[in-house]
Amino acid sequence: MVTRHARADYGLRAPDGPLVAQEHLPPVRPIESLAHGGRVARFAAAFGWRALVIPVLAVVTFVTLLDVVSPEPAPASSAFKAAPSSLEPTPSTPLEPTPTAPAEGEAAPTVSPPVVAPVPFVERGSGQLIVVAGSSPVYGNGPLQRFIVEVEDGINVAGIGFAAAVEGTLADPRSWGAGGEMSFQRVDGGDYDFRVSLVSPLNVESFCPGVGTGGYTSCRYGERAVINLARWETAVPDYEGDVATYRHYVVNHEVGHALDNGHVPCPGPGELAPVMQQQTLSLDGCARNGWPYPNG
């Protein structure tokens, strides 16, 4: 039978009494075999179960200190992280990364690539033509040809500036009025004989249906001489950057059609190209020329 005092020896609560603290337990009697087994045995005999706890705590403390003072392990190299996995799924559509620096190839090009200049004109305007207000004096002598100047809305060209350029070309003594053949006057309404319209390249064909401009050439359709904005701003390669002369040519050429003049070929290598030659497509060995009567 376990007595109340026997239960208290184990630090347990007796059924009817208070908890007996371990500090008041009677000393543990040394085991005979340990009492005569050397220092370790005597230490174990003296401290009982505490003899096992102390070395364990010492080991834990050492490991903790070692973990604190040890340097952080170096992260895995980026090369290892970037190694592709054969198990990763391939996207069904290509991704477009956002560049953060100039791209580098395996070798530099031997020739620098050409610099692409920004497009200096609007490729497609609104499609609505705006009549330039105002009128001009009569230029030249002879039968009067009245004309209206129009500029497509949304192409960022000042109508008054384009009208002045057209007037200046037709007023020149080398133009169609040379020698009193005819005179010209710009009007903005009423009676007129033809129109000169500046149109964006992608809308030219809509004003000259069936002509086949391809958005590149200018054209004439009925009473309207349509000037392609792209050609007005940049001319053509054969003109080698001489935009001013090309502008005289394209106005005189398309107005020439409105005046019932047809195409003519280059008369011979080195000669001036007739204004009714299709100089936009090729000079065919002729020299560029913007006037019907170059000598006035």
Residue 2 has pLDDT above 70, yes or no: no
How confident is the model at residue 118, as a pLDDT? Answer: 66
DSSP state of 276: T
In single-letter form, the type of residue at position 188 comes to: D
Name the nearest CA neighbour of 218 among 255, 166, 190, 245.
Answer: 255
Q: In sequence order, which ranges of 36-90 are alpha helices (DSSP H)?
A: 39-47, 50-69, 78-81
Burial category of 27 from C-beta neighbours within 10 Å (exposed 0-12, middle 13-18, buried 19 and up): exposed
| SS3 state at 219 | strand
How confident is the model at residue 58, as a pLDDT? Answer: 54
- Residue 26: band (very low, low, confident or very high) from pLDDT cuts 50, 70, 90: very low
Give me the CATH code for the 129-258 domain, please. Answer: 3.40.390
Q: What is the rounded average pLDDT of the residues 70-86? A: 42
CB 132, CB 160: distance < 8 Å = yes
Residue 204 has pLDDT above 70, yes or no: yes
Q: Select the more confidently predicted residue: 127 or 25.
A: 127
Site of tokens 């895995």 = 76
For the chain, give every domain's residue range: 4-60, 129-258
235: number of Cβ within 10 Å: 22
Residue 14 has pLDDT above 80, yes or no: no
| SS3 state at 194 | strand
* Cα 156 to Cα 147: distance, rounded to the nearest angstrom: 22
